[in-house]
Amino acid sequence: MRALSFAVEPADEAQAGVGLGHFAVQVEEMEAAGVTDDEPKTATVTIKDRDGGVSGVTSVPVTNGMARFHHVVIDATGEVELEISVDGARPLITKTITVHSNPGIDSRPSLVSKGAEGQGGDGDSLGSIANADGRYSAFASDSDNFVQGDENSSSDIFFFDKEKGKAEAISVNDTGELGNGASTNGVMSSCARYLAYESDATNLVPGDTNGVTDIYFRDRHTNHTKRISITEKGVEPNAPSLQPSISGCGAFVAFTSAATTLSSADTHGVTQIYIKDQAFGGLRLVSLFNGKPGEYASADPALSPNADEIAFQTSIKNLEADTRESTMQLVLTDLKTGEIVLVSRTPQNKPANGNSGEPAISRGGRYVVFSSDATDMTDTQNTHGGAEVFLYDRETSTVTQVSTTTIGRAPDGPSMHPSISDNGRYVAFESAATNLVPGDTNRSNDMFVLDRESSLIERTTVDADGNELEGDCIAGRISNDGRFVTFQSASEAVLPEQDLEGYQTYMGCNPFELLEGEDTP
């Protein structure tokens, strides 16, 4: 006989006319007389109302023992029963849910890069990030039709409030004037009050005379902009400052710089990692090894939400002075104790045999997700030679591969740009692989979410009916609460009813959270 079990339970409640989003059914073979060795082919859900009448039937193929149902819509209200069967056999499992008439989450992606009239940007919009609950987003854009007077012909940082439905400029000085140079790579605090970004502009604050890219900080409540990449005494850096990372409350901002004027220590003229206390002005050099600045470059900083830890990329030569290797490793520094932990490690606790970067940290610093082209951190075979996404567990000192199929098979394409929810349950990432979920035939990069509780992976960049999108969907990030994923795409299929050109910024739902959420993206 065959037994069925829900791999992900549908919610006990749903909303009429709104897709349940995602649920899966595991098909297991049980030993019994008369059972054939045939693999199950089709799973069917029959939706019955409380009087026993059938209001809908939907079938999906069974792949590797898993049937995945996307966005099952129930038009009835009251109690309904889901009956699930395989290959036409009698129903082997049922689930009763209560359907309400009030609206719930709309599973379609919503446009973030838009102006007050709802129009999409007339230039590329990239680098999006959402705040803790997904209401607010920030992104960089070349568009000049979001705010009045945008005539600088440069990329600017914008802030989007989905309740107000329009963007506001962030890369401005205290009088509201846009920067006179390109501003990119914006980051935002959980409460969305504070934002940091890098900019070539020279008119954002008085006294900017160093002629290099700096890190700036914007307080949306006071409408005040200040420069972060500067010493407590006001000394400017003599080299670019890049790659800002902000703590959850916005009190601290990390960044990189090869400047020799930001610290009294010998920084060897290579890129170091700094943390700025934006409230009190203190600047701290944190890329320290045996108490001294690294002699080789460090980059890619990621502050934990509570600012107790920082992960960053560093040359293996900073860790092993005598090595002949030239890889970039990933380390985690405890900012309270100064302890440095190797994140990109083999099971034997040795540095991995490839380059690692793009870290993101859960609240509390237990989990670090990152990308790496190393092949010796796990047993999963890398057959394509590109990067994969991994997760380091600080409590167990182990590394697991995130970018695998549900049954643990190696992906057939590279994965990158990971982010993690505050509680460490969800990991979002971009991938070119075609075998992470069934039916991936668009030959494009997509955004995926791993639910670490169920070990299931779902594609987030699909339309309201669960159909894949044509064209790349890239550089996504998950919101702190794990409910929403922002991403960029130039595909006209994301919102075909709108006349959009170039890369736009969108916000979609985490399919695993569609079952319980109440807000719309």
Neighbour order of strands in the sheet with 504-509: 110-111, 504-509, 484-489, 473-478
pLDDT at residue 439 is higher than 70: yes
- pLDDT at 118 (0 to 100): 85
pLDDT value at residue 64 = 65
Asked if residue 346 belongs to a domain, the reply is no
- Position 36 scores a pLDDT of 45
Average pLDDT over residues 114-124: 90
Q: Does residue 397 register a pLDDT over 90? A: yes
Residue range 175-189: mean pLDDT, rounded: 98
Q: Is residue 285 part of a domain?
A: no
Task: Give pLDDT tens digits for 272-303.
Answer: 999 999 989 999 999 999 999 999 999 999 99
In a domain, 175, yes or no: no
- Inform me whether the pLDDT recorded for 88 exceeds 50: yes
User: What is the pLDDT at residue 365?
Assistant: 95
Tell me what pLDDT residue 349 has: 96
> Is the model's pLDDT at 17 over the cut of 70?
no
Q: What is the pLDDT of residue 66?
A: 67
Q: What is the pTM of this model?
A: 0.82
Q: What confidence tier does 473 reach under pLDDT thresholds 50, 70, 90?
A: very high
**Which two tokens mark 161?**
């409030």
Closest CA to 229 of 187, 186, 191, 259: 259
User: Residue 182: is its pLDDT beyond 80?
Assistant: yes
* Residues forming a β-bridge with 312: 331
Task: Tell me whether residue 299 is in a domain.
Answer: no
424: confidence class by pLDDT, cuts 50, 70, 90? very high
Task: Return d(Cα 218, Cα 146) in angstroms, integer.
Answer: 19
Contacts of residue 297, Cβ cutoff 8 Å, sequence gap at least 6: 258, 270, 271, 314, 315
Q: Which of 100, 132, 163 is the last residue of a domain?
A: 100
Query: What are the structure tokens assigned to 499, written together?
Result: 């006349």
Sequence letter at residue 70:
H
Residue 50 lies in a domain: yes
In a domain, 6, yes or no: yes
Res 29: pLDDT: 45
Least Cα distance to 295 among 329, 267, 324 occurs for 267
How many angstroms separate the Cα of 482 from the Cα of each of 104, 270, 463, 467? 17, 36, 19, 22
pLDDT confidence tier of residue 200, bands split at 50, 70 and 90: very high
Distance CA 231, CA 212 (A): 15
pLDDT of 262 over the 90 cut: yes
Residue 323 has pLDDT above 90, yes or no: yes
Q: pLDDT value at position 190?
A: 93
Of the listed ranges 139-148, 265-274, 368-377, 495-504, the least confidently predicted one is 495-504
The CATH number of whichever domain residue 14 belongs to comes to 2.60.40.1930
* Choice between 79 and 278, residue whose per-residue pLDDT is larger: 278
Confidence of residue 454 (pLDDT cuts 50, 70, 90): confident
Which of the residue ranges 97-101, 115-119, 341-345 has the most confident prediction, judged by mean pLDDT?
Answer: 341-345
Domain membership of residue 94 as a residue range: 2-100
Query: What pLDDT score was predicted for residue 41?
Result: 76
Number of domains in the chain: 2
Structure tokens at 327: 């890889």
Provide the 3-class DSSP secondary structure of residue 60.
Answer: strand
Position with higher pLDDT, 78 vs 134: 134
Pairwise pLDDT comparison (327 vs 496), residue with the higher score:
327
Question: In the structure, what pLDDT confidence band is assigned to residue 20 with cuts at 50, 70 and 90?
Answer: low
For residue 245, report the phi and psi dihedrals to the nearest 5 degrees: -140, 135
pLDDT in tens, 25-60: 655 543 333 334 466 678 787 878 766 666 677 777
Question: pLDDT band for position 79 (50/70/90)?
Answer: confident
Indicate whether 241 belongs to any domain: no
Residue 422 within a domain: yes
β pairing state of 13-15 and 93-100: parallel
Q: What is the mean pLDDT of residues 345-354?
A: 97
Q: Where is 194: in which H helix or E strand?
A: strand 194-199
Domain boundary among 100, 115, 131: 100
Q: Pick the last residue of a domain from 81, 100, 119.
A: 100
Band (pLDDT 50/70/90 cuts) for residue 82 is confident
Half-sphere exposure of 268 (CA within 13 A, CB side): 14
Taking residues 67-96, what's their average pLDDT?
A: 70
